[in-house]
Amino acid sequence: MKALFHFIKSYFALLMVGLVFAWASGSILVYRNRTAPPGATVLRIGHWQLEASVRDAINEMARRYREIHPNVYVVQDAIPEGVYGQWVSTQLLGGTAPDIVQVGAMLPWNIWLSYYNRYFIPISREVNRANPYNRGTELEHTPFRQTYKDGMRTAYVDEMQEYVSIPLSQFGIRIFYNKDLLKRLTGLDAAPEDYREFLRACERIASQKDERGNHYIPIAGSQYHFGMWDSMMFDPLTYGAVRKADFNRDGFVGNDELYTAIKTGRLGMKFPPFEAKFRMLREVTDHFQPGYTGLTRDEAVFLFAQQKAVFMTTGTWDARSLQKQAEGRFEVGVMDFPVPAADDDYYGPIIEGRNYERPGGGFAFGITRTSRNPELALDFLLFMASQAQNEELNRIIGWIPCILGTEMDPMLEAFEPHLEGIYSAMNLWLGGETATKWMQLYSAYQVDQVSYDGLVEQFEPFYKEQGYKDFMEQQRDWRRGMHQNERFLAGIRARALASEGEEAESAWVKYRALTTSRQIWAELTHNRQVQLIEKGPDLEAVGPYEYSPAVLKKIRERIKKEK
């Protein structure tokens, strides 16, 4: 007995580790035996959605799939958002990842890109075939990727020229509002769609008090929610900069293009669309609760749920939970972001339409290379992405289906994306010290510690001078990436040389497309920008989509002659 006591005392720590390991292993075995009987084929699916409705929806899909494949059981690994990035990295690196993994968030894009290359199976061949689970529908003979509302665009990775995931839902952002409170405080039966009317409604709300003597809050905000207002309502006002700064004519203004335009005098921070963005930002955020920049998402939701605020912006992912919180207490409405009228004295000459919303799919899943049943994993994803099952999956969750011909919850109809509109063209994020300076001043402007004139006075000279260093560092980073591109292209070229038929033809198309976009045109674009900067300011220069006074004069003369 003494010897046993001495042994336990000497190896106590090691014995405890062994016992904990044995207990953990036993718990896992018991859990898996409960979820799937011995001898069954198990598909594991990992995701970061902890909402009960999501787990219920996937369980229902698994039950329906088991009616067709009785021996297949689906086990979910639902991981909290805060640790999902670390969890999925550990699982992929250790070779223990589930068969199916939710992808695209919780990690930087460059990390996901490296994971797609190493740990996920491309599905480009499969997306051009019809989904067998659409048999008997109008999509029966339609290639799988064309059954998506967005053509499966968000599943395509440009850097790889491959499809690597299958989206299952579509998301959008709108303004939720308390219908009962809006009616009581403003007399309005519906939320105002005009921007000026929206501001007047906010003023009427803010002027009234609740039974405790506290003023009502027009808009429940937080730093989390501010980003939605910024991208959906304020940023699109800057669209006019496209005509002056889109040097590569791809329809967008990159951070390098905007710096080139400002450095060469084609644009400035006093550009009317830029000023309009900051004016609208001030007008709207003045109706947020005080100190909103230091508040979290949950605090804003709590304010809305307690009927202390009338409006709150969020996405479809919160729609079902907001409905449940309001159930039996007040009615929740959904409205689009208000837009200034065309005849608005200030915004009329600047606003060119609603914000453009790319109808991208989300809730996307990829198949890992370590899966023991990759064909079965793909088949289950195709099952969930079929017309009937995708509609049911999203009905249970309370999200928008991403497949053509599906119906959605009537409340979510307001989330249908705007397929025509305008978008942001004010990307000042060059990195380095300019990014730090911009974050400081932008945050100060949000809390009204600096005026827009003061922001411009402090930032524009700094951006022009210090920004040159950050711009050139960006160019060097781009050139460093060219070596990686060359290695990647060499791999595609080798695959093309080693293949035959359609596979070889596809590989050569990818090789030519990537060589053109990444190596040739990118080189020309970057060299042109450097030349413009080195040449110095040119106040008479016109933008890519502008005409000089001389050309406009000739056009007018020609039109007169034609009449």
Across the range 321-342, mean pLDDT stands at 88
Residues 6+ apart with CB under 8 A from 455: 269, 278, 441, 442, 444, 445
Same domain, 233 and 198: yes
Secondary structure class of 499 (helix, strand, coil): coil
Same domain, 165 and 179: no
Same domain, 465 and 514: yes
Return the H-helix or E-strand segment holding 72.
Answer: strand 72-78
Residue at 306 is within a domain: yes
Same domain, 179 and 293: yes
- Contact predicate 131/383, CB 8 Å: no
- pLDDT value at 170 more than 90: no
Residue at 551 is within a domain: no
Secondary structure class of 190 (helix, strand, coil): coil
Residue at 9 is within a domain: no
Selection from 381, 502, 406 nearest residue 131 by Cα: 381
> Cα separation of 84 and 77, whole Å?
11
Residue at 554 is within a domain: no
Same domain, 350 and 367: no
Helices and strands counted in the chain (H then E): 21, 13
Same domain, 76 and 219: no
Structural domain range at position 328: 173-356+428-530
Same domain, 371 and 467: no
Residue 46 pLDDT class (50, 70, 90 cuts): very high
> Cα separation of 18 and 16, whole Å?
5
Tens of pLDDT, residue by residue over 433-475, are: 888 899 999 999 998 999 999 999 999 999 999 888 888 887 7
Same domain, 159 and 198: no
Please give the pLDDT value at position 75. Answer: 93
Side chain identity, residue 364: A
How far from the centroid of its chain's Cα atoms is residue 66's Cα? Answer: 33
Same domain, 499 and 481: yes
Across the range 505-522, mean pLDDT stands at 82
- pLDDT value at 17 more than 70: yes
Question: Residues of the chain with pLDDT > 70: what percent?
Answer: 93
DSSP state, 155? G
Residues 6+ apart with CB under 8 A from 60: 392, 393, 396
- Contact predicate 229/284, CB 8 Å: yes
> Cα separation of 230 and 283, whole Å?
12
> Cα separation of 86 and 371, whole Å?
20
Same domain, 147 and 220: no
> Cα separation of 429 and 402, whole Å?
32
DSSP state, 372? S
How far from the centroid of its chain's Cα atoms is residue 24's Cα? Answer: 37
Same domain, 265 and 275: yes
Same domain, 197 and 211: yes
Token pair in block for residue 210: 């609740």
Please give the pLDDT value at position 542. Answer: 75
- Contact predicate 150/361, CB 8 Å: yes
Which range among 12-21, 40-49, 360-369, 540-549 shows the weakest confidence by mean pLDDT? 12-21
Residue at 422 is within a domain: no
In our burial notation (b when 16+ CB lie closer than 10 A, e otherwise), range 415-451 reads: bbbbeeebbbbbbbebeeebeebbeebbeebbeeebe
Return the H-helix or E-strand segment holding 241.
Answer: none
Tens of pLDDT, residue by residue over 201-241, are: 999 999 988 888 889 999 999 988 999 999 999 999 999 99
Residue at 272 is within a domain: yes
Question: Can you give the CATH number for the domain in which 302 is found?
Answer: 3.40.190.10
Residues 6+ apart with CB under 8 A from 59: 74, 76
* Other Cβ atoms within 10 Å of 95 Cβ, number: 10
Residue at 12 is within a domain: no
Region for residue 136 given its phi and psi (left: phi exceeds 0; alpha: psi -120 to 50; beta: otherwise): left
Across the range 139-158, mean pLDDT stands at 88
Across the range 155-168, mean pLDDT stands at 85
- pLDDT value at 370 more than 60: yes
Look over the chain and give the mean of its residue pLDDT values, rounded to a whole number: 86
- Contact predicate 245/545, CB 8 Å: no
Please give the pLDDT value at position 29. Answer: 53
> Cα separation of 47 and 79, whole Å?
6
Residue at 561 is within a domain: no
Last residue of a domain, one of 368, 387, 415: 415
Please give the pLDDT value at position 530. Answer: 82
Side chain identity, residue 76: Q
How many separate domains does the chain show?
A: 2
Distances (CA, A) of 253 to 101, 370, 459, 516, 536: 33, 40, 20, 20, 20
Side chain identity, residue 262: I
Please give the pLDDT value at position 345. Answer: 93
Tens of pLDDT, residue by residue over 298-319, are: 889 889 989 999 999 988 888 8
Please give the pLDDT value at position 102. Answer: 94
- pLDDT value at 61 more than 90: yes
Tens of pLDDT, residue by residue over 263-286, are: 988 899 999 999 999 999 999 999
